[in-house]
Structure 1
Amino acid sequence: MVPLVRHPFYIRPVPRLALLLLLPLLLGALPARAACNDTPAPGVDFRRCLLDERDLTGADLAGAVLRDASLIRARLPGAKLAGAEAAQARFVSADLTGADLAGASLLGADLTRAVLLRARLTGADLRRAKLFRTDLTGADLSGANLLGADLSYAILDGARWTDGTRICAPGSVGACQ
């Protein structure tokens, strides 16, 4: 009989019963996905949720995942969305007055006719976002990335532009004057 030679990196197999007992612990370590009707909270995962017309006034959604979510006509005045991941989200006609979207990823998001009065968009990624007829009066766009964004008919009165120093003149529509 030939003696069994083990490879130096051989790892003894874990018994199946041990795996079955450890599985709930391993799964508990993963971030839980929120149901779409859960209470808003920092870091919540509302990916692909329909939140149309929902009242989220002052909600703390910092770091939330809103990718592909629909927030059409949602009310978000004063909401905290700093660092939120909202690529391809739909905020059509949503009220984001005074909302904090600093550092948020809004890549390809649809903000058509949204109200972003005095909103904080510092460092936000707005590449290819639709800002058609969006009201950005008094918004702070310092450091925001607007590459490929559609600003057609967007109201920019008094908005702080991406360079962080220029304030758009009254009557600025579609471009910062």
Structure 2
Amino acid sequence: MGEIVATARPRNSRSSRGRNLLAGLALGLALLPVLSLPASADCADVPAPGVDWRRCQFFGNDFSDRDFTGANFQSASLSNTNFENAQLDGLDGRRVHFVAAKMSGASLAGADLRDADFTSADLSGASLAKADMRRGRFYGTVFRNADLTGARLDNADLLNADLSGATWIDGKTVCDEGSIGQCRLKRTKAPGPA
């Protein structure tokens, strides 16, 4: 039988350690695109369904009649912007700022608008059916004739919001004219003596 001989491996010299380090660095750089986080928003992207405008800032732009279905506006600032008759269904609008935005006739059905700021925005005739508006700020927001069927308004601030003619969250109640800050039911006069 043959004899088993153990041999010691020579220690890496400085040059071989350097080569190993460079090889590891090259491998790491090659894997970087695979391991990197999802691409961040590009504020220069054109308005389109699914656009990612997270943390973007627009002021006074006209996006009326555009389709933003399923878009991501999370933490974006869109103050004084025109979204009249725009499609924003399924929007991720958490913490978005729509301060003084023109949004009459817009559709935000099923939108996630938690912690959003709609101070002084005009949502007349807008559809907010099944929108999640919890903890939102709606100071002086105009909801005249808007559809709030199934919307979640837990802890939302409706201070001075005009809800006149709006369909309330139950889908049946229509808020009386002059419903400021809360939905008031129409009062009917009780029949009196003849």
**TM bucket, shorter chain:** 0.7 to 0.9
Alpha-carbon distance, 1:38 to partner: 1.6
2:129 counterpart of 1:122? yes
State how far apart, in whole Å, the 2-side matches of 1:152 and 1:23 are: 49
State how far apart, in whole Å, the 2-side matches of 1:36 and 1:79 are: 18
Amino acid at match of 2:129: T
SS of aligned partner of 1:143:
coil
1:56 counterpart residue number: 63
2:101 counterpart residue number: 94
Alpha-carbon distance, 1:37 to partner: 2.2
From 149, 160, 181, give the equivalent of 1:174: 181
2:129 counterpart of 1:151? no
Select between 93-102 and 30-39 the one with higher mean Cα deviation.
30-39
From 113, 136, 152, give the equivalent of 1:106: 113
Unaligned runs of 5+ in 2: 5-23, 185-194
Amino acid at match of 2:159: S
1:4 counterpart residue number: none
- For residues 59-74 of structure 1, the aligned pairs below 5 Å read 59-74=66-81
CA radius of gyration, larger in? 2
Q: Contact 1:33–1:44 (CA<8 Å) still a contact in 2?
A: no
Q: TM-score, normalised by structure 1?
A: 0.83
The percent identity for this pair of structures is 46
Q: Contact 2:41–2:55 (CA<8 Å) still a contact in 1?
A: no
Amino acid at match of 1:165: K
Deviations 1:72-112 (A, max 9, x none): 00000011110000111000000001000000001000000
Unaligned runs of 5+ in 1: 2-15
State how far apart, in whole Å, the 2-side matches of 1:42 and 1:57 are: 14
2:83 counterpart of 1:76? yes
State how far apart, in whole Å, the 1-side matches of 2:31 and 2:75 are: 33
Displacement over 6 Å in runs of 4+: 16-24
Q: Contact 2:152–2:169 (CA<8 Å) still a contact in 1?
A: yes
Deviations 1:7-34 (A, max 9, x none): xxxxxxxxx999987876x58xx97544
State how far apart, in whole Å, the 2-side matches of 1:43 and 1:115 are: 24
RMSD: 2.2
State how far apart, in whole Å, the 2-side matches of 1:83 and 1:54 are: 21
State how far apart, in whole Å, the 1-side matches of 2:68 and 2:113 are: 14
Q: What is the aligned residue count? A: 162
SS of aligned partner of 2:159:
coil
